[in-house]
């Protein structure tokens, strides 16, 4: 493990890594209020507009598989700076997109750049800290990251109402350029380039295949992945549910969205207290059960419009809160045994997460029927699959 001597103090490191990891939440959450407007601006149906979200998840899933081997072979900083530069350039392209097809394609490119921050930040934490300390740091990172989805929908709704949807992508381009500069100036190199490590498709695929055969890795990767997939089903469906069905004004959409973000980041901080009494595996197990119950309740109330908007917001608050317990622990446990391959393990973890996210976002769009039923059904399914997969795959010696 690299010596921490000469590294910046934990707070500046935490703030910088949190800001880099926030590239993806900003890219998703800031433009959520504009989804109904995009459908109108390009004269397409809501399903086509939602493809701009699904294509982002596809790019984010596939891009992470690239950065893992790059970060293990060439060090952390150079691939990170390259990814952030790509993100900034693609954001400019999104702002100038002439058709919905161009925007869908450019969103995928934007995602490939954005995912560098998440993959390499996780690997840096694994480079610097032991598993117990890393779990606490991941919880703290979720607090820093949580500022993005709290502020982003409000900022996005404000930009949309004043300057139109393209202004959202111009702001993202500026943030991407600033992140490049911050990475170059503030972050240390936590993993030196390894010239002896082969960089080829075959060797990368062999590492990924070995990880996928590892029962320990797969159990925790799917626990976190299905938990986040439920969240992304919510992200894909909630703009239309709140704005089109419950007639929430776009500029106020962020207030409703922020309630669930507060639940997530608040739970992530309580996670540190839970770890004083329970093992990480036990915390995940209990949180998945809560998630299952919240998902089923959401489907029962939301699909029948029982209690109106409260039947949506209440169960979603509980579901989002459970993610704050699952994500930091599943991330730490999945990566803990893989020091030399931390970049690849982080990349595969993210690829699994966002492949599931792309599937759930696409499912919400494909099932669109003008009600909240598609979103609530997909979220409930994620809750069921999370509990089942963890029960089946978790190693029997896990505490």
Q: For 37-67, write each residue's pLDDT tens digit.
A: 888 888 888 778 878 888 887 888 778 777 7
Determine contact, residues 206/68, Cβ cutoff 8 Å. no
3-state secondary structure of 367: coil
Quick check: is 35 in a domain? yes
pLDDT class of 287 with cuts at 50, 70, 90: very high
Q: Which two tokens stand for residue 26?
A: 């900003």
Residue 146: what pLDDT? 59
pTM: 0.68
Domain encompassing residue 303: 10-189+200-393
For residues 263 and 226, give the distance between their C-alpha atoms in angstroms, rounded to a whole number.
18
For residues 396 and 344, give the distance between their C-alpha atoms in angstroms, rounded to a whole number.
25
Residue 222: what pLDDT? 92
Quick check: is 4 in a domain? no
Quick check: is 195 in a domain? no
Range with lowest mean pLDDT among 3-12, 95-104, 307-316: 3-12
Residue 379: what pLDDT? 94
Quick check: is 398 in a domain? no
Q: What is the DSSP string of 24-81?
A: HHHHHHTTGGGHHHHHHHTT--HHHHHHHHHHHHHHHHHHHHHHHHHHHHH-SHHHHH
Residue 131: what pLDDT? 62
Residue with tokens 């978790």: 394
Give 9's contacts (C-beta < 8 A, 6+ positions apart). none
Q: State the average pLDDT over residues 173-192.
A: 81
Mean pLDDT of all residues in the chain? 81
Q: What is the DSSP string of 73-99?
A: HH-SHHHHHHHHHHHHHHHHHHHT--S
Cα 193 versus chain centre, distance: 27
Short-list 55, 112, 100, 87, CA closest to 169:
87
Tell me: pLDDT of 2 over 50. no
Short-list 327, 307, 305, 324, CA closest to 260:
324
pLDDT class of 5 with cuts at 50, 70, 90: very low
For residues 185 and 240, give the distance between their C-alpha atoms in angstroms, rounded to a whole number.
41
For residues 205 and 1, give the distance between their C-alpha atoms in angstroms, rounded to a whole number.
25
3-state secondary structure of 134: helix
For residues 379 and 234, give the distance between their C-alpha atoms in angstroms, rounded to a whole number.
7
Quick check: is 1 in a domain? no
pLDDT class of 104 with cuts at 50, 70, 90: very high
Between 152 and 141, where is the model more confident?
Answer: 152
Burial class (CB in 10 A: 0-12, 13-18, 19+), 299: buried
**Which CATH number characterizes residue 35's domain?**
1.20.1250.20
Q: Please give the tally of structural domains in the chain.
A: 1
Range with lowest mean pLDDT among 78-92, 251-265, 385-399: 251-265
Quick check: is 2 in a domain? no
Percent of the chain beyond pLDDT 90? 20
Between 253 and 173, where is the model more confident?
Answer: 173
3-state secondary structure of 192: coil
Quick check: is 217 in a domain? yes
């Amino acid at each position: 493990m690299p010596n921490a001597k000469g590294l910046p103090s934990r707070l500046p490191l935490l703030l910088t890594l949190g800001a880099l990891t926030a590239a993806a939440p900003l890219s998703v959450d800031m433009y959520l209020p504009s989804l109904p407007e995009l459908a109108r601006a390009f004269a397409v149906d809501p399903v086509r507009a939602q493809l701009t979200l699904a294509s982002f998840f596809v790019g984010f899933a596939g891009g992470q598989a690239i950065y893992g081997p790059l970060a293990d072979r060439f060090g952390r900083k150079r691939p990170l700076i390259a990814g952030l530069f790509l993100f900034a350039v693609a954001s400019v392209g999104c702002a100038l997109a002439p058709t919905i097809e161009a925007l869908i394609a450019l969103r995928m490119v934007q995602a490939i750049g954005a995912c560098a921050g998440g993959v390499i930040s996780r690997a840096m934490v694994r480079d610097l800290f032991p598993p117990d300390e890393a779990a606490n740091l991941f919880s703290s990172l979720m607090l820093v990251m949580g500022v993005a989805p709290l502020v982003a929908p409000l900022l996005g709704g404000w930009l949309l109402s004043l300057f139109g949807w393209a202004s959202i992508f111009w702001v993202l381009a500026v943030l991407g350029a600033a992140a490049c500069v911050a990475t170059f100036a503030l972050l240390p190199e936590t993993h030196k380039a390894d010239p002896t490590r082969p960089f080829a498709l075959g060797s990368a695929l062999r590492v990924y295949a070995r990880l996928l055969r590892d029962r320990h890795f797969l159990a925790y990767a799917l626990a976190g992945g299905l938990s986040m997939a439920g969240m992304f089903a919510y992200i894909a469906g909630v703009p239309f549910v709140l704005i089109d069905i419950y007639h929430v004004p776009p500029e106020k959409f962020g207030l409703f969205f922020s309630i669930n973000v507060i639940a997530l980041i608040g739970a992530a901080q309580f996670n540190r207290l839970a770890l004083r009494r329970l093992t990480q595996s036990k915390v995940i197990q209990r949180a998945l059960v809560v998630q299952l119950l919240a998902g089923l309740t959401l489907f029962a109330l939301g699909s029948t419009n029982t209690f109106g908007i409260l039947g949506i917001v209440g169960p979603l608050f509980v579901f989002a809160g459970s993610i704050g317990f699952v994500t930091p622990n599943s991330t730490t446990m999945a990566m803990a045994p893989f020091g030399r391959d931390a970049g690849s393990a982080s990349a595969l973890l993210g690829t699994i997460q966002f492949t599931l996210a792309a599937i759930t976002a696409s499912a919400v769009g494909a099932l669109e029927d003008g009600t909240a039923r598609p979103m609530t059904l997909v979220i409930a399914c994620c809750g069921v699959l999370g509990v089942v997969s963890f029960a089946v795959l978790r190693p029997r010696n896990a505490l």
